[in-house]
Amino acid sequence: MSKFMYLYKGPARPMDQFTPEQSAEQMAVWRAWMEKLGPAMVDFGTPFAARTAVADDGLAADASDLNGYSIVEAENLDGAKALTDGHPYLSEASGKFTLEIFELADM
């Protein structure tokens, strides 16, 4: 089994802009997906908050619209992709949000 990182990318609304009710609703949807994965969910991860970027010339750069991460375990890249079925981040079906998947290499 290998570990894979999901990186969430898109114009997501920051968590601090949700009402307590909206936050609870969102967390319930995420928990349901996470429970569906069972032991394949290695690290639920966290949303990203404040951000900045620095370019290789030392100057400030525009930070990307990455919004958080999770780590799952699967046999291969196709298996990690299959685990995204029903993922809450992909539920809008607008084409504005992507979930990038990277296999974590052994060092």
Domains of the chain, start order: 2-103 (3.30.70.1060)
Contacts of 106 (CB under 8 A, 6+ apart): none
C-alpha–C-alpha distance, residues 11 and 65, integer Å: 6
pLDDT in tens, the chain (107 residues): 999 999 999 987 777 788 999 889 988 999 999 999 999 999 999 988 888 899 899 888 888 889 999 999 999 999 999 999 999 888 888 888 999 999 999 88
Report field, pTM of the whole predicted structure over 0.85? yes
CA distances from 83 to 40, 57, 75 (A): 9, 39, 11
* Residues written for the chain: 107
